[in-house]
Structure 1
Amino acid sequence: MARLRLFTIALLLVATGGHAQYMSEGGRFQVDVQSGCAPLTVNITINAPSACDAGNPCDMDWDGDNNYDENLVFTHTYTTPGSYYLTVLFQSTGQDRILIEVIDDTPPDFKIYTCSGNEVMYEITDASYDEYVVDFNDGSPALILPAGSSGGNHTYALPGAQTITVRGRNAGAIDNCTANAQPFTTFPTIPTPLINSLVVLDDNQIQIDFTTRQYVQYKLEMSMNGVTNFQHEEDVYNTTMATSSTVISGLDTESNYYCFRLGVFDPCNPASPMQYSNVICSATLSLELLDNMNRLQWTTHTTGINNYTLERNFAPYISAIPGSQTSVNDNDVQCKTEYSYQLISNYPNGSTSYSLTRTGTAVSMTPPTPVQNITAVVNGNSVELSWTQDPAFDPIEYVISKNIDDSDFTEAGRSAVSGFTDPEFSPERPTCYQIIYTDLCDNTSPPSIIACPIVLTAEQLDDGSVLLNWTPYEGWALGVQEYVVEKYTDDGFLLNTFDAGVNLTITDNTEDDIHQVHVYVVRAIAKEGGLGEAISNVVVITRDPRITYPTAFTPNGDGKNDHFTVFTKFVNGFQMSIFNRWGELIYVTDDINQGWDGTFNGKLMPEGTYAFRVDVVDYLGRSFVEMGSVMLLRRR
């Protein structure tokens, strides 16, 4: 009951609030808003004697789609533009309705043109609303203009940042549409614009880049082959204060140069003389290809030019060329190399004018110098060659020749790069290489230095050391600085490095009871830097287990020589068997460290000679057998 009283009081407040002013078709309810921009909030007031409360329920269809809201809600917000029949269904008297118009909330478009004397011209280009409210935001009254009005002028008291706000509204609609606010700047005198750059795009187009003021109108003018006959080319107008561009077409940039300037136009005072920007001119650039020289010449209006910059291949090449100069000879060229040139005219105010790019291929008949340094790397049964040459010449093909066993050089192959792999190399047959090449001018170089790869040999001596010998490396103009020998495991782990200096032999007597296989290679380091390392063939040394043993032992318990033990290396499998003089097996073990203590079935064997057999499997899976005899002594 208490809730019913509270609801009735709330409904009475809505019904008597005084906000509703648009009557429904049947007069049973009214709304405070019938038309406006989205989002549009509508409030319903029930007119007496109609009632809409807990005792007299009614339903609301806000969108006219026959979907009724039974929650007695009297406020609704429309977010989507359109026409809607708001319908109230009364329990006793039936339905009543009113048409709601929701307009798309689009701020109206308008243009601003800045004038001198702190004046501004505005033009309303929007046609979506019945009328427009123009607010100059300077304390002056807002203007209300009907649809179709072109706009007008307004003068501000002071220069500086200003804002014009325009909003649209329709007859009979609430004034809730979003305004379009455009900030701008007023000037006593409009500042002079700046032409930043000129770029000749091709034989009939030029691009002009300039910095302008927001909402200011400009006139771009052009004069051909001088600065005495400027003609209007096009209007320029920007809604932002930024660098903008325009492209002028229909020109003949091959035969003529063109000068441009930008004038300030005051639409409020169209008869007043224009103030002009700086003048900037294009340049006609020509390229003549001579023997070992590219000649460049140009024509432009030189007055006002501070200096020139010549770019080659899109990078600065010659700077600060005097403004009176009209040609440059480029002698730093390579035959059959393409060069692109662009002339930049530099003005004192920082403006720049870029000519059309000229491209040509240089000519020369200078023969290339021979290859001076060749680096050879032996890789199994192949040799990888790399080399350096004079960077002043660009080869198009290398021809690699070789001789074997001091025979004549014959062609081994060709390469377009400074590298080649010979797949048919044998360390057993001395082989050397020589290179010639043809450059871009189709000239052939003299033969290169002869390059002979390092050939490494190795021998395992009786004491277990390894003797290494190698041939001297040939192929570098300044020779070898030193040789370095590297020893690896068979899985590529570096064990030792030996500095051999300029010697061609070393002996490796380092102890290694862990690795059975040793891999050796020699590296040569050049006296001249940047040539890489020449590398020999790989030599693999595999060491045998080398089973050793004593000839006698004394199992008397004194802790000295009490066991007969066999010594070996690189063992994965081991078995030792002991036999008496009649060939009977009296002891066997697979523990290499255990040895025989001279007993059989717990009893000490008599002095005498006993035979043994040792079976070994090394790290590589190879089997070895060692048989012999040992003397058992009972020395006290």
Structure 2
Amino acid sequence: MTTCTPFRLTARLCWLGLFWIGSLLAAQAQGTPGFALEPDFGCVPLSVQVTDDASKAPPGGRTPAYDNGQDTDTSTFSAVDPVFYYDAPGVYLVKQLVDGTAPLAERIARRRLVVLDTVVPNAQVAFCEGNRVRLTVDDRDDARFLLPGRDYGTYAVGDTTLVYDQYRIRWGDGQEEVVQKRQFVLTHTYNDGKFDHTVQVQGLYSVSACGGTARLPVRSFQALAWPALNRAAVQADGSVLLQLQVGITGRYRLLRQTANGLTALDTLANEGPQDYASTAIDARNQSACFRFEAFDVCGNTLASPNLCTTRLTATPNAAQNSITLSWPRDQSGFAFRHYTIYRDNRPFATLPDRDQTSFVDTGPLQCGQRYQYHLVVTMTYPRQTAEIESHSLPVEVTAQSTVQPEPVQQVQATVNLENQVVLSWRAPSPTPSAYQIRQMNPAGKLLTLFTAGGPAFTDQQADLASQPYCYEVLFTDTCGNVSRTSTRVCPIRLTGDRNETSVRLTWTEYEGWPGGAQQYFVERIGADGTVLDSAPANGRSFQESLDDLLDAEEQVLRYRIRAAPNDNRYTDSYSNLVTFRLPYRIYFPTAFTPNGDGLNDTFHGFGRFVEQFTLRIFDRWGEVVFQTNDFTDAGWDGTFRGMPLPPGLYPYTVSGTDETGRPLTLSGKVQLIR
């Protein structure tokens, strides 16, 4: 029985073939099969022209049946010289079937068709400085094209492996070149003045001039960013901490200058500021110079000048109370600006001469104290906005001295409201741990020796009411050297006396101000310390009439002297307080008239400086008819228990104290008139 199984036909064509076979069994043979494919190699998408072999066809022609090998429902049909379309790579077996009485196997012809894949070449382009690009192609592994074989029953097609045999490079500026290897690197420079190109890399098979194309846009050329080498600092372990600035383009490498040239230390790629610790050399004992370099794949380089480390040594000089610092001359390639010496992390000397390699710190230094120094070399470069710095490793040294310290300055004396002498002065640098204060009389005889922990002292033992005092301040530094004696200061001593008519004050001159006293003032002080009155004095004496003090608000008069200096570095100085007590004043009338006319209607006292007070009024039999403890009370209105008393003499007594606490007593008689 005739069957359609030897090749794949649709159901329609299969029945058509059976019809032909059945109707032509006795007919004359229709020729032998044969056809050609054009092309039989090519890349997807591929159109293939099928041409029947006319030499093998009958005189009247024929319409063979074909199978294009694509394994679809429409892969078999009858046509004259059809065109097959292939959009998938692979090895296809195309078959032709002709009519006739010969056995089926003799009426089928076969042709192999290879449809190649357009693999995109593995290509990369890098943009470089100077309008250059670098093209890298590496198809050693990725560009292999495997066409799997197929088993067609009696017929089989084996695996076919193809690779690109050559590459055509079109640079996008009208220039192109062909390379016959699968791994290569090319560089190209654009000279057309344009900044928008597309590099095309097409792989080509030797069996067919086709293949995939990689299209690589070139939009801009990247100039190398400046490799900023900002800072070098020697660390405690001898390593060098470098501060670098990496740009967004290119790659960077760090190099160290040696006697034999430059040695690469590392390659850096991360964008932004970076800290890099170099352990290539122990920079505690020798200088190290570094260079930072940007480079690209095209061979362009851009390098910073050398940045070198620096070393610092410190030596104490006891005889001069100083420390000598020394360092090697800076060898960096940047533009030198200045050296800065730091003491205890604070800058205290800036040196603009690059050739200067030593400095003497004369302080003031505190003997026995440990100081830390470090040196900073500051440089500039036109392509860097920030200054470049090289930091030495900090060094520590203990100050030693046999030099006598200078005296303390701006010693001043004043007296507080408790009549205590208060001394103050400007602390020297470095500050000593203690001071010695000499108390003496104006003749220079030492009276007492005090000790103070800071630049101020209060002499609570001074008795200025009995004698004047003078003071000197000195100290001993940590090396045992006693300072020179300070300027002697003598506070103002105020004395005074009071007679029946006036108060007289005299005082000593303030001693210790370089420019002396500009003016003395007499001040009257309230009990709460406020200044009630102040007046400039001529000379060093003052007299005030008691009549001028009738309106004094306080019974106790407190005087002091204020001196104003000529030198504005000093503040006013005050003397001790001198006090005087005014007598209390109290008065009672001898009669009163409680008749309601608003004149002398009550009996009460008048006076000043009365603190505590008791008034008692008696009748003729000694009975208390009125009593009050309020000196400001409205007084007695001449009644007793609400009833008017008869006219007559009424004795009274007054007792109490004045504002100073001294007792007061008074008695008398008042005439009640009706």
Same fold (TM over 0.5): yes
Please say if 1:605 is aligned against 2:647. Answer: yes
Distance of 1:354 and 1:497 partners within structure 2: 61
Counterpart residue number, 1:276: 303
Quote the offset at 1:548 in angstroms. 2.3
Q: Could you tell me which amino acid in structure 2 is paired with residue 421 of structure 1?
A: T
Match of 1:528 in 2: 567
Residues 509-562 of structure 1: CA distance to partner in whole angstroms, max 9, x if unpaired?
445565455655444333322333433444565656421245677899998777
Bigger Rg, structure 1 or 2: 2
Structure 1 counterpart of 2:73: none
Which consecutive residues of structure 1, in runs of 5 or more, have no partner in the other structure?
1-111, 122-154, 161-184
- Check conservation: 2:507, 2:540, Cα contact below 8 A: no
Is 1:260 the counterpart of 2:290? The answer is yes
- Asked if the contact 1:257/1:300 (under 8 Å) is kept, the reply is no
Distance 2:221 2:347 in 1: 41
Contact 2:489 2:511 in 1 (8 A): yes
Q: Tell me the residue number matched to 1:576.
A: 615
Query: Does 1:614 pair with 2:651?
Result: no
AA paired with 2:292? L
Please list the CA deviations of residues 244-301 of structure 1 after superposition, one character each: whole Å capped at 9, or x if unmatched: 11111252324322221122344xx3x8354323322223334444445635341342
Read off the aligned partner of 2:462 and give its amino acid letter. Answer: F
Displacement of 1:201: 2.6
User: What pairs up with 1:49-448 in 2 under 5 angstroms?
Assistant: 116=128, 187-202=221-236, 204-214=238-248, 216-224=250-258, 229-238=261-270, 240=271, 242-266=272-296, 269=297, 272=299, 274-290=301-317, 291=320, 292=322, 294-301=324-331, 303-313=333-343, 314-317=345-348, 319=350, 321-323=352-354, 325-330=355-360, 332-335=362-365, 336=367, 338=371, 340-349=373-382, 350-361=387-398, 365-371=402-408, 373-378=411-416, 380=418, 382-388=420-426, 395=432, 397-403=434-440, 408-430=445-467, 431-439=469-477, 442-448=480-486
Please, what TM-score do these two structures have when normalized by structure 1?
0.58
**Displacement after TM superposition at 1:221 (Å):** 0.7
Query: For the Cα contact (< 8 Å) 1:197–1:208, is it kept in 2?
Result: yes
> TM-score, normalised to structure 2's length?
0.55
Within 1, Cα distance between the matches of 2:463 and 2:470? 11
Instruction: Give the equivalent residue in structure 2 for 1:181.
Output: none
More off after superposition, 412-421 vs 356-365: 356-365
Q: Gaps spanning 5+ residues in structure 2: where?
A: 1-123, 137-187, 197-218
Contact 2:238 2:279 in 1 (8 A): yes
CA distance, structure 1, for counterparts of residue 234 and residue 126 of structure 2 = 31
Question: Which of 204-213 and 561-570 deviates more?
Answer: 561-570
C-alpha separation between the residues in 2 aligned to 1:622 and 1:254?
A: 84
Q: How far is 1:233 from its partner?
A: 0.8
Letter of the structure 2 residue corresponding to residue 231 of structure 1: T
For these two proteins, the number of residue pairs brought into alignment is 455
Alignment-derived partner of residue 16 in structure 1? none
CA distance in 2, matches of 1:400, 1:448: 10
Aligned counterpart, 2:534: 497
Q: Is the 8 A contact 1:460 1:466 kept in 2?
A: yes
The answer on whether the counterparts of 2:505 and 2:543 sit within 8 Å (CA) in structure 1 is yes
Aligned residue identity for 2:517: V
Distance 1:493 1:627, change over 3 A: same
Change (3 A) 1:633 1:452: farther
Deviation string, structure 1 residues 70-124 (Cα, Å, up to 9, x no partner)? xxxxxxxxxxxxxxxxxxxxxxxxxxxxxxxxxxxxxxxxxx9976357899xxx
Contact 1:115 1:190 in 2 (8 A): no
Corresponding letter in the other structure for 1:353: S
Give 2:490's match in structure 1, choosing from 437, 452, 458.
452
How far did residue 408 of structure 1 move? 3.5
What's the offset of the Cα at 1:327?
2.0
Residues 118 and 186, structure 1, Cα contact 8 Å, conserved in 2: no
1:395–1:505 distance in 2 versus 1, CA, 3 Å? farther
Task: Evaluate the alpha carbon distance shift between residue 587 and residue 233 of structure 1 in structure 2; reply closer, same or farther with a 3 A threshold.
Answer: closer
Determine the structure 2 residue equivalent to 1:546.
Answer: 585
- The CA distance in 1 between the partners of 2:639 and 2:238, in whole Å, is 112
> Is this contact kept in 2: 1:308–1:346, CA < 8 A?
yes
What is the CA deviation profile of residues 326-374 of structure 1, one whole-angstrom value per residue up to 9, with x for unaligned ones? 4244365334374624141414334332333344455555433444633
Give the match's secondary structure for 2:605. Answer: coil
User: Deviations 1:173-224 (Å, cap 9, x if unpaired)?
Assistant: xxxxxxxxxxxx9743432322122222346111111211237432111013
Query: Does the aligned pair in 2 maintain the 1:280–1:353 contact within 8 Å?
Result: yes
Q: Distance in 2 between matches of 1:392 and 1:589?
A: 68
* Conservation of the 8 A alpha-carbon contact between 1:286 and 1:298: no
* Offset from partner CA, 1:10-62 (integer Å, 9 cap, x none): xxxxxxxxxxxxxxxxxxxxxxxxxxxxxxxxxxxxxxxxxxxxxxxxxxxxx
Change in CA separation of 1:206 and 1:517 when aligned onto 2, cut-off 3 Å: same
**CA shift for structure 1 position 571:** 4.4
1:114 and 1:625 map into 2 onto residues whose CA distance is: 116
Alpha-carbon distance in 1 for matches of 2:555, 2:126: 93
Matched-pair identity in %: 27
Task: Return closer, same or farther for 1:443/1:207 CA change in 2, 3 Å cut-off.
Answer: same
Q: 1:302 to 1:562 in 2, by over 3 A?
A: closer
CA distance in 2, matches of 1:557, 1:261: 113
CA distance in 2, matches of 1:417, 1:589: 57
Matched to 2:388, the amino acid is S
**Does the C-alpha gap of structure 1 residues 279 and 385 become closer, same or farther in structure 2, counting only changes over 3 Å?**
same
SS at structure 2 position matched to 1:306: strand
- Tell me if the contact between 1:545 and 1:570 (Cα under 8 Å) persists in the aligned partners: yes
Query: In the TM superposition, what are the counterparts of 1:468-487 in structure 2 within 5 Å?
Result: 468-487=505-524
What amino acid maps onto 2:571 in structure 1?
G
Counterpart of 1:4? none
Matched letter for residue 627 of structure 1: S
Q: Distance in 1 between matches of 2:293 and 2:450?
A: 69
Q: Distance in 1 between matches of 2:668 and 2:134?
A: 123
Give, in whole Å, the separation in 2 of the partners of 1:590 and 1:395: 61
Counterpart code for 2:424: S
Task: Say if 1:599 and 1:605, in contact at 8 Å, map to a contact too.
Answer: no
Whether the 8 Å contact between 1:449 and 1:477 is mirrored in structure 2 is no
Residue 623 of structure 1 deviates from its aligned partner by: 5.4
| In 1, Cα distance between equivalents of 2:415 and 2:290 | 64
Which stretch of the first structure deviates more once superposed, 188-197 or 625-634?
A: 625-634
Asked if 1 retains the 8 angstrom alpha-carbon contact of 2:305 and 2:332, the reply is no
Secondary structure at the counterpart of residue 283 of structure 1? coil
State the distance in 2 between where 1:551 and 1:540 align.
35
CA distance in 1, matches of 2:134, 2:577: 90
